[in-house]
Structure 1
Amino acid sequence: MGASSFAKFTVMMIARKFSLVKGGFFDKNLHAGRGSFHNHAGFCRPMANCLVMPFFGRKGLAMNTRKNTLYNVAYRVFSMLLPLVTAPYLSRVVGTEGVGLYGYSWAISYVFVLIGLLGLENYGPREIARVRDDRDDLNRTFSAIWKMQRLVAGVTLLVWLVYVFFIAGEEKIISLNLTMMSVSCLVNLDWCLMGLDEFKPIALRNTAVKLLAAAAVFLFVRKPEDLWVYAFVWSLSTLVGCLSCMFSLRGKVTPVKVTWKEALKHLAPCALLSISVIAVSVYRQMDKVMIGALADMAQTGLYENAEKIILCLSGFISAIGTVMLPKVSRMTRMKQMDAVKRHIRLSMELVMCMVCAMAFGLAAVAVNFAPLFYGDDFAYSGTLMMPLAFTLLSIGFANVIRTQWVLPQGRDTIFVHSVLTGAVINLIANFVLIPPFGAMGAAAATVLAEFSVPAVQFVYLRKELPYAQYLKTTGVYCLFGLVMAGAVVLLGYVLPLHGWGKLAVQVTGGAAVYGALCLTYWKLAKRSDIFRLMRRK
């Protein structure tokens, strides 16, 4: 894949977590997705052109925004991929129970972090951006929000310590070493830097800190008993990253004395923005917590590594919606609703084309991939990846509708209802399915939750959008994905190869089959619009 094509593909892949301000280029309320992709030059290059060019256009973004986007994308992609560097090593050192114990402890800690930040990564940048041109207003707004942040984070930290010392069981030591994640909420001022369009220090400083943390993992985590070191290193890196970014605010903003009334007026809007984020975390993190509580840590470890592959690549799905959002929002403001519907139709086709390749391809190679990547003890993680891979279908479908119809029209209620429905279904299904089926029960619960999201959208929007047309398009690419998966599995049986060589041939063969089917279909259907996009440079 050439450098220019890779840049296009990477810019497309901005994850939900990469958002800057609600209603701007990036809206962090976007539903998190899961995903993966096969990195083949011949197929990804036209796909990148198809997906990027309609949304960015030839002139692209203004230079400053483009630089900020690239810094943000580069750092977030790095953050997604870094766990894949350390995960195989950690899995072989601490085993399934060690990975499960860490995943269980980290999931609980992360929920406390979300509560401690209370939606500030959405709310803070928006408020700072509004007053950035008036230094006095900027100082007062910053000081008021930070004062409110310290109050919420301080209370959350106290509750976390109560949990660690009086409630936590076998995870007590690991949880204690994760305490610095909650402490970091007191000094996490990235939201202010984002509001000031200062993404370079966030990206560079945090990248440097995480690289040092990864090096420390390889140096100091040598045996199962060193799991606490792993937790300490990553927790410390979070705190150091936040502290280092504070120095970047010197000269840009000055803390001033503000009243509690000024500070607390930001509490309600922050809490409102945090609802969807916390709801999403329920079925992103609670799976591991409930497996640990209702099954055992070994099952948690198997699920953790199965989900890690999907989550680390999930940004490649949800990011497409982030890239789509600005143009569709402008079209919506101009009341060009027919153009928006045409845009959704083309976007749905291209997104589902890519998503079906991901879902069926990942499901077909998962059983071979997991033991190669994580070690033989994690072979069952591949089995868990198979149902989880199909959540990509619902995520891709819902993402297009949400980012091109729901959010541009400001109909946040539909988004919140769909997310809350998914969270409730996941919670109930986990209680029912985990005791008899363990990690596989959690995987089934996640599938149910993910498919409930587009179902709720359908209930609201069935009279506004041509769902029959979208489902027909999805069915075509699902059929192609099924044929591709069959070819991949067949190659696995007949090839005299083993290990990574066999996997590489399977992936290459599957991509070739899927690409050929798509190109043939587009030609027979006379889809000149798609071929025009593929020819764009």
Structure 2
Amino acid sequence: MFKNKVLENIFSLGISQIASVAFPLITMPYVSRIIGPEGYGILNYSTAFIGYFTLFILYSFDLSGTKIISRNINDKVLVSQAFSEVLYSRCILYVICCVLFIISFFFGKVFHKDYLVSIILFIGLLSSVFSPQFIYQSFQDLKLFSKINVIRGLINMILIFLFVKTKQDYFYIPLFATIFNVIINIGLLLHAKKKFSLQLTRQPLNKLFNLIFTDRFIFISNVLGAFRATTNTIILGFFVTTKEIGYFTTSINFLFVVVNVLFIPISTAIYPFISNAFSKSHEVGNDIVKKIVPITVYFYFITSFCLLVFSPFLIMLIFGNKFDESIKILQIISFAPLTIGLSNLLGVQVLLNYHFDKLYFRINLYSTIITLILNFYLSKNFGYYGAAWNIVFVDIMIITLYFIYLKKLKINIIDWNYFNPKIVKANLFSLASFKK
């Protein structure tokens, strides 16, 4: 059906993300009217908190593991070693998370708006331990994900309609997600082990800790990026009610729907493709990036503009008039798809493939410090509108810093001739027909 693996994987991941988003979109109007803004506030606050543990367990392995395997795809011994190191390292990180989670209970409502929801979501972290995404991504074989997600989404949707009947039933939503995610990821992991002839071998502890230490800059950068996103909700929770958190997180989650469908499939599929190009030479990799930049700008600008224009209609259609306050918030952050797309391209696809891990880390560290300062001030004084504007300011700042440092390093990824619509079209077809 497709001429190359990149398009095939973008299509497969696109189907996967559409399935994971379409079914929740069907249930959203029903669920939002039953549990209301307060119920949504509790779920989203708990999800944001447990999200920190998810990041810790996933570490940077979806990037570093993918890069190692994709560049040594024919070396079965090295591939199995990378596979084993990632799994055992995640087990170590999960044990650490268990200790930290128990400690968090001493802080009560500061971290746990609902203890049952927090516990359910924490158990769901096992799905992160067994997540096989880096394996399928490395081998550029992602078709199975689309099929599994359609089935999972359909069953989950049916169960939500059957069990969520009152305001108090909101805990069923994370419960079903946890059960399906854990079972499916374990199944996908076992399938990958068999399909790609992977051997799970015991690894010395010192080797695992060395891997964790080596990947620390990418990991901390990823944590800082997610920390900026989730901390908006956490800090806002210090100053506003759960109902107002519900307004804010409704807009944020709707934005994530757009990002999941349009951004994640593309960025996930092109990472091993670009990484492989850079393994040949920096010139080959850089030329690929120059062609992708204009495509990224045009595509995500159109997406963001549509989000800005259709925000009122979309919020009212999906969530109802109880969430009318979410409209302005969504309009403020409507250009996030464009800024996220550019940030990923400049940071993950370029800096990391040039092995500037420390620089990538420093930019994210500076941005996070500024985010925290701005977030406290804006959330305290302007509520959820301030938290929304904080997202905009920080995204623009990160992109600016990436461009400044790339210029200092004399890495030119912009060729204005490539922005000509005719050349963009030609490059798009060229990349689509490119064979590894």
TM-score if structure 2 supplies the norm length?
0.81
In structure 2, distance between residues paired with 1:404 and 1:249: 25
**Pair 1:447 & 2:363 matched:** no
The match for 2:378 is 433
Q: 1:194 and 1:468 mapped to 2: Cα distance?
A: 27
Are the counterparts in 1 of residues 282 and 354 from structure 2 also a CA contact under 8 Å?
no
- Following superposition, the deviation at residue 469 of structure 1 comes to 9.3
CA distance in 2, matches of 1:462, 1:132: 33
Do the aligned residues in 2 keep the contact of 1:205 with 1:245 (CA within 8 Å)?
no
| 1:448-476 alpha-carbon deviations (Å, 9 max, x no partner) | 11111122123324465889997xx99xx
Shift of 1:91: 1.2
Q: Look up the match of 2:172.
A: 229
Partner of 1:180: 123
Corresponding residue for residue 155 of structure 2: 212
**CA separation in 2, counterparts of 1:311 and 1:366?**
14
CA distance in 2, matches of 1:78, 1:269: 36
**Aligned counterpart in structure 2 of residue 277 of structure 1, from 222, 225, 240:** 222
Instruction: For residue 389 of structure 1, give the secondary structure of its aligned residue in structure 2.
Output: coil
Change (3 A) 1:398 1:130: closer
- Tell me the equivalent position of 2:104: 163
Deviations 1:222-271 (A, max 9, x none): 11100111121112222122232243256434444443234333222343
Q: Contact 2:224–2:368 (CA<8 Å) still a contact in 1?
A: yes
Q: Is the 8 A contact 1:201 1:248 kept in 2?
A: no
Letter in 1 for 2:335: F
How much has 1:194 moved relative to structure 2? Answer: 4.6
| Contact map agreement 1:391 1:451 (CA 8 A) in 2 | no
Alignment CA distance shift 1:433-1:170 (3 Å): same
Change (3 A) 1:407 1:60: farther
- List aligned pairs for 1:95-494, cutoff 5 A: 95-127=36-68, 141-164=82-105, 167-168=108-109, 169-192=112-135, 194-195=137-138, 199-249=142-192, 251=194, 252-315=197-260, 316-317=262-263, 326=273, 330=277, 336=283, 340=287, 344=290, 348-399=293-344, 401-402=346-347, 406-462=351-407, 464=410
Name the amino acid aligned to 2:361: V
The letter for the 2-side match of 1:289 is I
The answer to whether the 8 Å contact 2:9/2:142 transfers is yes
CA 153–270 in structure 1, closer or farther in 2 if over 3 Å, else same: farther
Counterpart Cα distance in 2 of 1:408 and 1:255: 28
**Contact 1:107–1:288 (CA under 8 A) maintained in structure 2:** yes
1:75 aligns with 2:16: yes
User: Which residue identity does 2:300 align to in structure 1?
Assistant: V
Tell me if the contact between 2:342 and 2:399 (Cα under 8 Å) persists in the aligned partners. Answer: yes
Q: What amino acid is aligned across from residue 245 of structure 1 in structure 2?
A: L
Cα 1:535–1:233 change in 2 (3 A) is: closer
Partner of 2:324, secondary structure, is helix
User: CA shift at 1:125, angstroms?
Assistant: 4.0
Deviation at 1:151, TM superposition (A): 1.7
Alpha-carbon displacement from aligned partner over 1:427-460 (angstroms, at most 9, x marks no partner):
2211111122221111011111111112212332
Q: Say which is worse superposed, 388-397 or 401-410, in terms of deviation.
A: 401-410
Deviation of the 1:69 alpha carbon: 5.2
So what's the TM-score if we normalise by structure 1? 0.67
Deviates more, 1:266-275 or 1:410-419: 410-419
- Distance (whole Å) between structure 2 residues aligned to residue 339 and residue 166 of structure 1: 49
Counterpart Cα distance in 2 of 1:183 and 1:306: 28
- Percent of paired sites with the same residue: 18
Distance of aligned partners of 1:201 and 1:468 in 2 relative to their CA distance in 1, 3 Å threshold = closer
Q: 1:160 to 1:202 in 2, by over 3 A?
A: farther
Partners in 2 of 1:320 and 1:200 — Cα distance? 14
Deviation at 1:112, TM superposition (A): 0.7
Decide which moves more: 77-86 or 137-146.
137-146
Q: 1:142 to 1:328 in 2, by over 3 A?
A: closer
User: Residue 378 of structure 2 aligns to which amino acid in structure 1?
Assistant: L
Letter in 2 for 1:219: L
Distance 1:116 1:412, change over 3 A: closer
CA distance in 2, matches of 1:396, 1:133: 31
Residue 109 of structure 1 aligns with an amino acid whose one-letter code is I
8 Å contact from structure 2 (residues 127, 181) kept in 1 = yes
Specify whether residues 209 and 420 from structure 1 end up closer, same or farther in structure 2 by C-alpha distance, changes over 3 A only: same
Deviation at 1:207, TM superposition (A): 4.1
RMSD: 3.9
Distance in 2 of aligned mates of 1:329 and 1:157: 37
Q: Which amino acid in 1 is paired with 2:156?
A: A
Gaps of 5+ in 1: 5-58, 475-521
Residues 476-504 of structure 1: CA distance to partner in whole angstroms, max 9, x if unpaired?
xxxxxxxxxxxxxxxxxxxxxxxxxxxxx
Shift of 1:200: 4.5
Q: For residues 42-57 of structure 1, what are the structure 2 equivalents within 5 Å?
A: none
Change in CA separation of 1:186 and 1:67 when aligned onto 2, cut-off 3 Å? same
Matched residues, number: 424
How many Å separate the matches in 2 of 1:323 and 1:258? 29
Equivalent pair of 1:94/1:224 in contact (CA under 8 Å): yes
Larger Rg: 1
Q: 1:260 to 1:331 in 2, by over 3 A?
A: closer
